[in-house]
Structure 1
Amino acid sequence: MKALRCNAFGPIDTLQVQDIPSPSPAAGEVLVDVHAASINFPDALMVQGLYQVKPPVPFTPGAELAGVVSAVGEGVTQVKVGDRVACSTGTGAFAEQAIAQASRVIPLPEDMDYAAGASFVLVYGTSLHALKTIGKLQPGETLLVLGAAGGVGIAAIEIAKAMGARVIAAASSEEKRALAKQAGADETVDYTQPEWRREVERLTQGEGADVVYDAVGGAYAEPALRATAWRGRYLVVGFAAGDIPKLPLNLALLKERAILGVFWGAAMARDPAQLRTDLQQLADWFKAGLVKPPVTERVGLADAASAIARLASRQAMGKIVVLPRG
Structure 2
Amino acid sequence: MGIRAAVCEHHGPPETVTVRDTARQQIGDDTVRVAVAFAAVNFPDVLVVADDYQISVPTPFTPGSEFAGFVTEVGARVEEYAVGDRVTGTGLFGAFAQEVVTDSHKLSPIPDGLPARLAAASGVAYRTAHHSLRSVARIRKGDPVVVLGAGGGVGLAAVAIGHALGAEVIAVASSPDKLAAARRHGARHLVNHREVDLRSALKEIVPRGAAAVIDPVGGDLTEPALRALGRGGRLVTVGFASGEVPRIPLNLVLVKGVQILGFQFGDIAPDEFDRNEEELRTLITSGQVVPHIGAEFGLDETAAALRMVADGRAIGKVLIRVGGCGP
Equivalent residue runs for 1:234-273 within 5 Å: 234-264=235-265, 266-267=266-267
Do the aligned partners of 2:45 and 2:63 also contact (CA within 8 Å) in 1?
yes
For 1:184, give the aligned amino acid.
G
Q: 1:314 is matched with which residue? A: 312
Residue 46 (structure 2) aligned to one of 44, 47, 54: 44
What's the CA shift for 1:176? 0.8
SS at match of 1:192: coil
Residues in 2 aligned to 1:27 and 1:312: alpha-carbon distance in whole angstroms: 37
Aligned pair count reads 322
Residues in 2 aligned to 1:273 and 1:83: alpha-carbon distance in whole angstroms: 27
What's the CA shift for 1:41? 0.4
What's the CA shift for 1:277? 4.2
What's the CA shift for 1:25? 3.7
Q: 2:103 is matched with which residue? A: 101
Superposed CA deviations along residues 187-230 of structure 1, whole A, max 9, x for unmatched, are 111112452222222212x1221110000111111111111111
Q: TM-score, normalised by structure 1?
A: 0.93
Q: 2:322 is matched with which residue? A: 324
Q: 2:223 is matched with which residue? A: 222
Residues in 2 aligned to 1:51 and 1:217: alpha-carbon distance in whole angstroms: 16
What's the CA shift for 1:143? 0.9
Equivalent residue runs for 1:1-326 within 5 Å: 1-204=3-206, 206-264=207-265, 266-267=266-267, 276-325=274-323
For 2:10, give the aligned amino acid.
A
Do the aligned partners of 2:163 and 2:185 also contact (CA within 8 Å) in 1?
no
Identity of aligned residues (%): 37
For structure 1, the residue ranges without an aligned partner over 5 or more in a row are none
What's the CA shift for 1:103? 2.7
For 1:110, give the aligned amino acid.
D
What's the CA shift for 1:276? 4.8
What's the CA shift for 1:267? 4.3
Tell me how large the CA RMSD over aligned residues is.
Answer: 1.8
What's the CA shift for 1:149? 0.9
Residues in 2 aligned to 1:210 and 1:182: alpha-carbon distance in whole angstroms: 22
Residues in 2 aligned to 1:39 and 1:285: alpha-carbon distance in whole angstroms: 22
What's the CA shift for 1:101? 3.5
What's the CA shift for 1:158? 1.6
For structure 2, the residue ranges without an aligned partner over 5 or more in a row are none
For 1:57, give the aligned amino acid.
T
Residues 242 and 58 (structure 1 numbering): CA distance in 2 closer, same or farther, change over 3 Å?
Answer: same
Residues 74 and 157 (structure 1 numbering): CA distance in 2 closer, same or farther, change over 3 Å?
Answer: farther
Do the aligned partners of 1:88 and 1:100 also contact (CA within 8 Å) in 2?
no
Residues in 1 aligned to 2:33 and 2:278: alpha-carbon distance in whole angstroms: 22
